[in-house]
Amino acid sequence: MTDALAPDVLIIGGGSGGYVAAIRAAQLGLRVVCVERDATLGGTCVNVGCIPSKALLESSHHFEFARERASAHGVMLGNVGLDLDVMQKRKTDVVAQNTRGIEYLFRKHAITWARGSATLEAGNVVEVRGAPPENTITVYHPTSVIIATGSVPSALPFLPYDEERVLSNTGALALTEVPEHLVVIGGGVIGVELGSVWRRLGARVTIIELLPSILSGYDADLAREAEKLFRKQGLDIRTATKVTGARREGDRVLVDIEKEGKSETLVADRVLACVGRRSSLPGIDAKSLGLALGPRGEIAVDDQMRTNLPNVYAVGDVVGGMLLAHKAEDEGIVAAEVIAGKPSHMHYGAIPAVVYTTPEIVGVGLTEQQVKESGRDYKVGKFPYSANGRARTAGETAGFVKLVADAETDALLGAHLIGPTASELVAELTLTLEFGGSSEDIALTVHPHPTLSEATREAALAVLGRAIHI
């Protein structure tokens, strides 16, 4: 057993929150060690989440466009074929580019990557066991610790993952053949994104959602529009439907469902279970350490990402809330800055959440339902992409921009988009929320023509009762 020099900060976990915290801490002049047990940095997002799923979404979108919609533009491609091996290799290469990029940034900022599994002990002592067969143990005595151990998929008790026929997001991203029938349990973001990938590539896809609507938590207008468009695209969506049981029989998985007292058994060759994620605390015995947890097993923190233990911070999925990489990154920055003595804090009022389907779906701030339930008087402005010139030229006219503003002050309260490149368009609205701006601020801002961003301005004008192009 060797005793390493004590760093200023040691971070447990090299995912989105952890590696960003490491870089920011190093920028601030702190000596940093980041412990990551996987072979690559980047965590779930980079390796088996955001990046590979978006690579497959992009590739499958191009495939479907070439096969079904290119001819509308006068581009005649004939018989379009699919080489899934090439598509998967491209996804793997994209992931590798990102993980190598993080390794480069660690070298650039002189961050020590301790490869191994960490155990947090009392007094902020961290023991790191290296990879087998050596299993070398190194003990660190950092001044501060940041826990960034992420989350793992929740499993159905009667249908454990085998990543062959019963898939988590990890297995669904690594399929080597297109399923004949993919049953997706859960109509949240992961379910509709990965369901969309395999539908585009030729699978029959059935999505089972227990709640009355898919995409729970998004504005109701967005969820209704999304469900309508997804059905039109060919997804079989079963809402208000309960999965009562499931079992694997050879190469088939039988899924028992029930709706309004009527039972049915679906036969699939693959099942993707997306029933949520839970905080992961490997190497951290919260009870023995006295680490306070929330009701769902998440680490309890304040707005400076401090836990109840002295000089111990936590960021990312492990603290619960919105399980988003960009939220984790901001939390990592806040933790690093607080450790360095900066007056930094976290707030969650302007964090956009995106679904990268076609069309894209995004919400930031309060939904109309949340504002209504608060009793606050409000105004709504909507503008459809079907009335936008750039959307027409692209042939992408589905969806709309919806803004919710205070009826008295006109302060923007929430923004909700479903349409082309919505993930890029929302930045303007997020900035408006962050600065406490109004719909009039957006309406008075000249937007270039012809662009999709004009729909944002028109929605702001609609809040004021003076939309031009509808």
> What residues are paired with 3 via a beta bridge?
139
Q: How far is CA 468 from CA 338, 391, 406, 419, in A?
A: 47, 16, 21, 20
Q: How far is CA 363 from CA 154, 178, 369, in A?
A: 25, 31, 13
Q: How many CB atoms lie within 10 A of CB 372?
A: 13
Map residue 369 onto helix, strand or coil.
helix
Residue type, 428: E
Q: Is residue 73 among the annotated active site residues?
A: no
The Cα angle at residue 149 between residues 270 and 140, in degrees rounded to 5: 145
Q: What are phi and psi of 185, to 5 degrees?
A: -95, 105
DSSP class of residue 201 equals T
Chain length of the chain: 470
Q: Is the dihedral of CA 149, 150, 155, 160 positive or negative?
A: negative
Active-site residue (options: 73, 345, 347, 449): 449
Whole-angstrom distance, CA of residue 118 vs CA of residue 30: 20
Q: What is the dihedral of CA 356, 358, 362, 368, to 10 degrees?
A: -140
Residue type, 451: T
Helix orientation angle between 84-108 and 16-27, rounded to the nearest 10 degrees: 30
Whole-angstrom distance, CA of residue 271 vs CA of residue 253: 7
Whole-angstrom distance, CA of residue 369 vs CA of residue 461: 21
Alpha-helical segments (H) within 81-207: 84-108, 169-172, 189-200
Helix orientation angle between 50-64 and 189-200, rounded to the nearest 10 degrees: 40
Spacing of C-alpha 251 from chain mean position: 31
DSSP class of residue 299 equals B
Half-sphere exposure for 224 (CA within 13 Å, toward CB): 4
Q: 293: Cβ–Cβ under 8 A, 6 or more apart, which residues? A: 286, 299, 300
Q: Which residues are catalytic?
A: 449
